[in-house]
């Protein structure tokens, strides 16, 4: 974690990408976010409000497993919860459109995995 507090999302995004340097971590985030969105829509559609409990468990559960088990770092959401959520959605949108690899290359350069 950087010593100085990150002050903007533009500053946070490269940090987030570095903390998600491994493709497997990004895939786990994508799957967790996707499952969370599906359950959210389903819960609202059928008005099973109790199902909303599963949304953060799916989204963050898989993400945190990937950080501790694959990436071997602490989730950024522990220190920057709102920016982490926004970055998770940006990662998801870049992955679904096939542009995340280029973004990782742009930020990490030759060290991208």
Token couple for 23: 């493709």
Which pLDDT value is given to residue 2?
A: 45
Query: What residue ranges of the chain have pLDDT lower than 50?
Result: 1-2
Q: Convert 24-33 to b/e letters by CB count within 10 Å (16 or more is b).
A: ebbebbbbbb
Which pLDDT value is given to residue 4?
A: 75
Rounded CA separation 65/26 (Å): 12
């Amino acid at each position: 974690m950087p010593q100085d507090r990150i002050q903007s999302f533009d500053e946070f995004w490269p940090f987030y990408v570095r903390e998600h340097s491994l493709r497997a971590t990004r895939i786990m985030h994508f799957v967790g976010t996707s499952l969370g969105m599906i359950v959210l829509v389903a819960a609202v559609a059928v008005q099973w409000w109790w199902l909303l409990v599963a949304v953060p468990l799916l989204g963050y559960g898989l993400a945190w497993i990937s950080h501790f088990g694959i990436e071997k770092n602490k989730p950024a959401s522990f220190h920057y919860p709102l920016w982490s959520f926004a970055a998770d959605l940006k990662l998801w949108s870049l992955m679904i459109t096939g542009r995340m690899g280029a973004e990782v290359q742009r930020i990490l350069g030759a060290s991208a995995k």
